[in-house]
């Protein structure tokens, strides 16, 4: 689902001084990530995940118009992914360092990770998930001192759902092959294997 008031966007960009993402960029990233999901067996005709829309929207000059995330978020109520066209200039100092190495495809990979739980919750609240991620999906699980190596990113250390989404994002990006930088980290290897197992179980549901 794409398309917003271009006049509104132009005016808002001028007000904020920074465009966030182009419609064509979001479209391109969406097609790319959907192809990756299809290759993984997670996206097929009439699958639950195929019903998840990527909604590209604008912002009000006063800030986020109800947005819950900076670069995008998965709404559990509508079960859609929302991508804002811009971010408020006041947030730039905080946002830029956080996402300096992210591309739009990474954002969508992360949010589709959340969408998986929304569509297939039973795989995210069982013993296998708890053993790998430390608790059920959605629980606060801030890393203690010295535990940072157990997470693929600092954001992953905040909540179990972000731990999964960040790991899933990299799993998709690297086509299931664990990067060498994480190969000696046992906790990450276990999470990676669990992500793979969950994807395999979901893919089997169409058979």
Q: Alpha-carbon distance 39 to 115, whole Å?
A: 17
Cα dihedral across residues 170, 176, 180, 186: positive or negative? positive
Please list the ranges in the chain whose pLDDT falls under 70: 1-21, 58-70, 86-102, 141-146, 207
Q: Alpha-carbon distance 189 to 182, whole Å?
A: 7
DSSP per position, 51-79: G--EEEE--BTTB-SS--SSS-EEETTTT
Q: Crossing angle of helices 160-173/104-119, nearest 10°?
A: 120
Q: How many CB atoms lie within 10 A of CB 118?
A: 19
187 Rama class: left (phi>0) / alpha (psi -120 to 50) / beta: alpha
Q: Does residue 172 contact residue 36 with C-beta atoms inside 8 Å?
A: yes
Specify the pLDDT at position 25: 83
Specify the pLDDT at position 84: 80
Specify the pLDDT at position 72: 81
């Amino acid at each position: 689902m794409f398309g917003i008031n271009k006049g509104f966007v132009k005016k808002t960009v001028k007000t904020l001084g920074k465009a966030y993402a182009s419609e064509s960029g979001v479209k391109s990233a969406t097609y790319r990530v959907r192809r990756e999901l299809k290759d993984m067996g997670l996206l097929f005709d009439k699958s639950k995940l195929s019903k998840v829309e990527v909604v590209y929207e604008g912002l009000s000059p006063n800030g986020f118009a109800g947005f819950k995330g900076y670069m995008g978020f998965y709404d559990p109520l509508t079960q859609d992914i929302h991508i804002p066209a811009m971010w408020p200039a006041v947030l730039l100092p905080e946002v830029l360092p956080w996402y300096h190495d992210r591309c739009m495809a990474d954002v969508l990979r992360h949010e589709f990770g959340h969408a998986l739980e929304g569509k297939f919750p039973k795989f995210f609240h069982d013993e296998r998930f708890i053993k790998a991620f430390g608790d059920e999906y959605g629980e606060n699980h801030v890393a203690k001192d010295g535990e940072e190596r157990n997470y693929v990113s600092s954001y992953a250390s905040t909540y179990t759902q972000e731990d999964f989404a960040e790991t899933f994002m990299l799993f998709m990006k690297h086509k299931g092959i664990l990067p060498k930088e994480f190969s000696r980290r046992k906790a990450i290897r276990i999470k990676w294997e669990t992500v793979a197992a969950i994807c395999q179980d979901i893919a089997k549901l169409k058979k």
